[in-house]
Amino acid sequence: MFLRRRFLSSSCSLSLPSLCRFSSSVSVSSGLSPPLRRDYMANSDCRAVPLRERVDFLIRLSDLDTAAKHARLAPFAEHDLQSYDTADDRDVDWVCGAIIVAMCKAKRYKDALDLIRYFFNEHKMIPPKGSFNHVLKGVLDDSSNATTILLGVKRLAQAGSFDEAMDPFRIRCCVRWVDRVPFGIHLDVSNSLIRGLLDIGEFKEALKLFGEIKIRDDHNRVAVASAIFMEYWFKKGKEDEAMECYNNVLALVLREIESTGAIALLEVLLKYDKKTQAWALFHHFLDMETPCLDTETLCSTMVNECFKMGRFYAAIQTFKIPWRLGASGFRNIITRFCELGLLYEAEHFFAEMQRDLSIDPDVSTYTVLMEAYVKAGRVDDVLRISNHMVDASLCQVAKLSCLSLRDEY
């Protein structure tokens, strides 16, 4: 075990420079110029693909501080001239979005906001869509800020301009774009605002924003907003109004609803005991076979419902529906079995996950199993799973090293 740790440490030091704990907050608010790359990451590989692979690996390793340290190289990313403005740009965008989302999921909103300022204010990068909705959710969860933000948006919305209402959350635009693009067009900021307005009793203003969304003909966002209004009516005991919202969604072209909209509808139906409708909707989504839906995520939602009902066989059958199983689906069902103390079943799915060479090692899954064995007092099994985790991590480090060497020649 000791040798494993020494080898992992030395390998990481070669492939991943400075894998030490690092605070994601680099001081850029003191009025000084943005720090140069050499000031905090000397001799590091700044090519776009290796940078993305390192940050991805470190996020899955749950070492967000070191991941943030490497992600801060994104403004200095070196592009392959043959792929400039295409693949390499997408890799850099992924790095920025992934570290921000990871910080938010870990509820480290201060670090997420610090990274936003670093990337998009200090270095004038273009924010990738798909990250700021998490940040806004964190801000709205803070009651000291939510009311002020929402009331400010309300005043702008009352003036008749939905786009102006979104102005605090606009993204910067590329020089070739004529107009600035409001955040609300690309992200679900508007639905976060609807939920917040309903929470503070501003029903008419929330309904007004909902109307603007419907005018834009974004079916997925309409589905999410409808789920918010459904929950609002359910909480007030007005089931007829809630189901009217649901029936209005069903009248839409469901094929254009994406995973976020589908899951929002399923979760609110399940939460308020509309299980028959939830399962019918779930199977309807499966029958559509639309590429907009992440089947694995949908199945995990229904797997969790099966566990709540004590229907383990149904949970397993639902888990196996997607044609390709990924790490998140395995992690979910393993976690559910561990929570119930059914370690034999959890171990079975863990072994199945390991046999699938297309699935990258997921540290969270190993951690769940180890914690379950710790609670059961099974020390030998803790060490066994720990060794599996180290081996999987070493394979990842080897892959990163090969990637780096291949790109050199």
368-379 pLDDT, tens digit each: 999 999 999 999
pLDDT over 70 at 106, yes or no: yes
Q: What is the pLDDT of residues 253-275, one digit of tens each?
A: 787 888 888 999 999 999 999 99
Q: What are 73's two structure tokens? A: 């190289």
Q: Give CA–CA dist 310/194, Å, rounded.
A: 35
Q: What are 201's two structure tokens? A: 């009793």
| Residue 336 counted as domain residue | yes
Q: What are 364's two structure tokens? A: 């969270």
Q: Taking residues 169-186, what's their average pLDDT?
A: 40
> What's the domain count of the chain?
1
| Residue 287 counted as domain residue | no
**Confidence band (pLDDT; 50, 70, 90) for 135?**
low
pLDDT over 90 at 29, yes or no: no
Cβ-proximal residues to 118 (8 Å cutoff; 6+ apart), any chain: 26, 28, 34, 72
| Residue 53 counted as domain residue | no
pLDDT over 80 at 207, yes or no: yes
- Residue 63: what pLDDT? 87
| Residue 9 counted as domain residue | no
pLDDT over 60 at 211, yes or no: yes
Higher pLDDT, 21 or 310: 310
Q: Give CA–CA dist 284/393, Å, rounded.
A: 39
CA proximity to 367, closest of 399, 389, 400, 398: 389
| Residue 26 counted as domain residue | no
Between the alpha carbon of residue 367 and those of residues 99, 118, 124, 400, the distances in Å are: 21, 32, 38, 23
* Contact criterion met (CB below 8 Å) for 246 and 230: yes
Q: What is the pLDDT of residues 342-368, one digit of tens each?
A: 999 999 999 998 888 777 767 888 999
Q: Taking residues 86-93, what's their average pLDDT?
A: 72
**Confidence band (pLDDT; 50, 70, 90) for 93?**
confident
Q: What is the pLDDT of residues 240-250, one digit of tens each?
A: 999 999 999 98
Q: How far is CA 136 from the centre of its chain?
A: 13
**Confidence band (pLDDT; 50, 70, 90) for 101?**
confident
CA atoms within 13 A on the CB side of 153: 31
| Residue 375 counted as domain residue | yes
- Residue 48: what pLDDT? 85
- How big is the chain by its Cα radius of gyration, in Å? 23
CA atoms within 13 A on the CB side of 352: 18
Q: Give CA–CA dist 328/359, Å, rounded.
A: 10
Higher pLDDT, 175 or 291: 291
Q: What are 65's two structure tokens? A: 């501080």
What's the CATH code of the domain at 378?
1.25.40
CA proximity to 307, closest of 328, 335, 344: 335
Q: What are 132's two structure tokens? A: 């700021």
| Residue 361 counted as domain residue | yes
- Residue 409: what pLDDT? 46
**Confidence band (pLDDT; 50, 70, 90) for 310?**
very high
Give the rounded percent of residues in the chain with a pLDDT score beyond 90. Answer: 31
- Residue 390: what pLDDT? 83
| Residue 83 counted as domain residue | no
Q: Give CA–CA dist 131/188, Å, rounded.
A: 10
Q: What are 83's two structure tokens? A: 């792929």
Cβ-proximal residues to 191 (8 Å cutoff; 6+ apart), any chain: 213, 221, 224, 225, 228
Cβ-proximal residues to 190 (8 Å cutoff; 6+ apart), any chain: 162, 166, 184, 209, 212, 213, 221, 225
Q: Give CA–CA dist 125/369, Å, rounded.
A: 40
Domain hosting 358: range is 323-394
pLDDT over 90 at 202, yes or no: no
Instruction: Round the average pLDDT of the chain to a whole number and report it.
Output: 76
- Count CB neighbours of 317 within 10 A: 13
Give the rounded percent of residues in the chain with a pLDDT score beyond 70. Answer: 67
**Cα 208–258–97 angle (5° rounding)?**
90
Higher pLDDT, 68 or 164: 68
Q: Taking residues 140-157, what's their average pLDDT?
A: 61
